[in-house]
Amino acid sequence: MASIFSKIIKGDIPCYKIAETEDYFAFLDINPLAKGHTLVIPKREEDYIFDLGDEELAGLMSFSKKIAKAIEQVVPCERIGVTVIGLEVPHAHVHLIPINTVRDMDF
Ligand code: 5GP
């Protein structure tokens, strides 16, 4: 059965798409931890990021780097956090999460 993310790639489930290439796809997380929280995935369905071959993993990270640079242009943040969780959706993905530390907050 196709994963939720494969359905998103096909357009069967709507998403806010950020960018795509022949092999990779980036879109906003539906339940963001911060404004601009983005998921980056390979179009080829594989359960978990470390199930990917080295070449595909490198391609995913290279595409993620480009997306992170683009997010930085539009979302003010100190850093783009990069994380892998993979507990909910069995389709390899990287989370890119704009981070601002407590130093920036108004009290
Ligand atoms: P993980 O598998 O890394 O634990 O979490 C999966 C992530 O995918 C979560 O942050 C969740 O909000 C996001 N997610 C789950 N279903 C959808 C969906 O249908 N659309 C979008 N845009 N994000 C989703």
pLDDT of residue 1: 80
pLDDT in tens, 41-58: 999 999 999 999 999 999
Report CA(91)–ligand 1 centroid distance (Å).
10
Ligand 1 atom index nearest CA of 90 = 2
Angle (CA) 21-48-43 rounded to 5° is 20
Q: Is the CB of 86 under 6 A from ligand 1?
A: yes
Instruction: Count the domains in the chain.
Output: 1
Q: What is the mean pLDDT of residues 29-40?
A: 97
Q: What are phi and psi of 62, to 5 degrees?
A: -65, -45
Check whether 104 has a pLDDT greater than 60: no
* Cβ-contact 99, 80 below 8 angstroms: yes
pLDDT in tens, 56-99: 999 999 999 999 999 999 999 999 999 999 999 999 999 999 99
* Cβ-contact 27, 18 below 8 angstroms: yes
pLDDT of residue 102: 65
- Rounded to two decimals, the pTM is 0.95
Q: Which two tokens stand for residue 71?
A: 């997010």
Burial environment of residue 54 by CB neighbours within 10 A (0 to 12, 13 to 18, 19 or more):
exposed
Report CA(86)–ligand 1 centroid distance (Å).
9
Report CA(32)–ligand 1 centroid distance (Å).
9
The CATH number linked to 62 is 3.30.428.10
Q: Is the CB of 106 under 6 A from ligand 1?
A: no
Check whether 105 has a pLDDT greater than 80: no
pLDDT of residue 101: 84
Q: Which domain holds residue 84?
A: 4-104
